[in-house]
Amino acid sequence: MLALWIVLGVVVLLVLWAVFTYNRLVRDRVRTENAWSQIDVQLRRRYDLIPNLIETVKGYAAHEREVFEDVTRARTQAQEATGVENQAKAENEITRSVGKLIAVAENYPELKANQNFLALQEELTGTEDKIAYARQFYNDQVQGYNALIQSFPASLIVAATGGRFAKKEFFDIDEPARGPVEVQF
């Protein structure tokens, strides 16, 4: 009789543990997904800003066609990219080409004094910072989640539930330059 109770107790504990661990896995996976959607919001924001930026710069430097095409191409590629790694590559391309566009704009004093351009530049810098911070947050969440699904005994639940808790990929993009922004004249 006593043995039966002990077995029953152990079974109940095991079930409780399994439920608890499963819920923790779900919670952590949802967190990585939420963190990813934060990145997505900011990436879209940047896609929306780019046409405005190009239009504004065009008003002063219409002949810099190559730079405009470069940015537009990078934007289209990024919008069509699938998968974390491809997305990261495409975003790096945007950062690079937009940086070039801004550098070109530096050569036009009238453009640099344009209120619209200054506002766009602030938004772009702000959005790039937010992308970087969203990425930092996402990668931290992914690190915690990946560590959890590989750790024993949580890994037992992961194996038992099939492909439900797959490993997540890090989002690796180039860090924006830190330190005071240097204004070149």
Partner 1 sequence: MYEQIASNKRKTYLLIFLTLVFVGGLGFLFAYIIARGSFAASLAGLIIALAISGAMSIASYRYGDRLVLSTSRAQPVTHEQEPRLHNVVEGMAIAAGLPKPSVYVVPERSPNAFATGRDPEHSSIAVTRGLLDMMDRVELEGVVGHEMSHVKDRDILLGTVVATLVGSVVLIAEFMLRWFFWGGMAGRGRDNEGGGQGFALLAIVGLVLAILAPLFAQVIKMSVSRRREYLADSEGVMLTRYPPGLASALRKIADDHTPMQVANNATGHLWLNQPSRVPGADNHWWENLFNTHPPIQDRIRILEEM
Chain residues binding partner 1 by CB under 8 A are: 35, 38, 42, 119, 122-123, 125-127, 129-130, 132-134, 136-137, 141, 178-181
**Shortest distance, position 178 Cβ to partner 1, whole Å:** 6
**Shortest distance, position 161 Cβ to partner 1, whole Å:** 26
Q: Which residues in 17-34 are b (16+ Cβ under 10 Å) and which e? A: eeeebbeebeebbebbee
- 123: Cβ–Cβ under 8 A, 6 or more apart, which residues? 49
Where do runs of H (alpha helix) occur along 59-164?
Answer: 65-80, 84-105, 109-112, 115-150, 154-160
Nearer CB in complex with partner 1: 111/131: 131
- Residues 47, 97 contacting (CB under 8 angstroms): no
Nearer CB in complex with partner 1: 37/161: 37
**Shortest distance, position 141 Cβ to partner 1, whole Å:** 8
Nearer CB in complex with partner 1: 9/126: 126
